[in-house]
Copies of this chain bind each other. A is one copy, B any other.
Amino acid sequence: MSATSGRRVGLWLIGAFGGVATMITVGLAAMAKGLRDRTALVSERPAFGHLNRPEPADLVVGGHEIRAGSLMRSAEEFRAISGVLDRELLMACSEELAAATSRVRPGTIRNAGATIARLADWAPDEERLPLAAVLDRLTADIDAFAARERLDHVVVLNVSSTEPPLSAKEFPPTWDRLNASLASADPPRLPPSSLYALAAFRSGHSYINFTPSLGASFPAAYQLAEAQGALHAGKDGKTGETLMKTVLAPMFVHRNLKVLSWVGHNIFGNRDALVLDDPENKAAKVGSKDQVVHQILGYRPTTLVTIENIPDMGDWKTAWDHIHFQGFLGTPMTLQFIWQGCDSLLAAPLAIDLVRLADVAKQRNETGLIRAFAPFFKSPEGMEDNDFFRQTALLEQWAQKGPRTT
């Protein structure tokens, strides 16, 4: 492991005191100090060994957040509820956590929906400002971070709570028309995830959406990114149960076994779960988790996905999946799995991978949507295929050759 890549890359976290952001920041510090190894970092696999990946010490963390707090407080809370991480480790990283905390700015709850707004105690009241003013503030925060820290590249990473689902169709289809509407009295109801994306793109920063929220997934944002040479990818990190689905469904395909039903029940108790208690916010998540089975199989067995908030489970996402399938001569058989993973610690390394590989793309002068990041996402943008192994082959091919130009 080289000490440095020669790059200085900013990691701007949306939801900077949340579980995933906290694990990212603790993890980067722990790896930079050599206190923990690189297990769970995909970008450390041999297939990516030839790339000039920014090292943990090369990443500078800042971000937006709507709840007052600090990374150390979040880390301690995480430790208490979920029973992972040592206090010793946190103590050893306290300086880095404090530095990152000092770079966090108040976020926005404009158009965030009631459930998320209720959690906010640090976001300014921007309900009556022109949307353009809100956007300007967010852009200014990120630009100031880039300048102050003398960064080669900033990646804005959305790891905040899931917003209610939204149709991209209601927004003006070009950046020019969208931009013009922002100062109007009745601007489009762009959710925070999209405001951060636009804020990033306006200055040419990269944007990665690790959540199922809208983010950059609408035409005007694509257009702006392309125009500014900004990179983006998404959406919804594939950490546990859905990863399993995209690994197992191809097996049923290749064996020509007919899936009759696929039922998945998820329980966990972190802040994400709390937000998902709101049926609106949950709808976005469940949709993202549910469609992969149909897409891979190519037909529609009965499917059911639930996600329930069970507070005592903390970050321990436990999923039980029951797959009822038909074998030879019509014989029904069953596969069940139980996944017990610490969700934020599954998400954090993938988020770090995305930032490192996005910086490789930046060094290669790629722009716009990076399709090859598909294996990291439940709903990969620009990709129909959810088969994890075909996605992985695509990513490795990208690492080898750069993006396909066809």
A contact set with B: CB distance below 8 Å: 23, 26-27, 30, 36-42, 44-45, 83-89, 243-244, 247-248, 250-251, 253-258, 260-261, 263, 265, 267, 301-302, 304, 306, 308, 310-313, 318, 320, 322, 324, 326-342, 345-346, 348-349, 375, 388-389, 392
Contact = CB atoms under 8 A, between A and B. Distances in A.
Contacts of A306: 265, 306
Contacts of A36: 328-330
Given A256-B42, A336-B337, A340-B334, A313 B23 contact: no
Given A87-B88, A248-B247, A23 B320 contact: no
Nearest to A43: B256
Nearest to A302: B310
Interface of chain A, helix or strand or loop or mixed? mixed
Nearest to A39: B258
B256 A44 contact: yes
A300 to B, nearest CB: 12
A318 B322 contact: yes
A36 to B, nearest CB: 5
A45 B254 CA distance: 8
A85 B329 contact: yes
A349 B324 contact: no
Quickly give the copy total for this chain: 4
A40 B261 contact: no
8 contacts: A30-B329, A37-B330, A261-B267, A312-B332, A320-B322, A327-B345, A328-B345, A328-B348
A289 to B, nearest CB: 15
A31 B42 CA distance: 45
7 closest pairs, A vs B, by CB?
Answer: A260-B312, A389-B389, A40-B328, A337-B337, A334-B340, A328-B349, A336-B338
Contact of A342 (B261, B333, B340, B346): B333
A250 B389 contact: yes
A308 B320 CA distance: 14
Which of A26, A251, A253, A254 has the largest count of B CB atoms less than 10 A from its CB?
A254
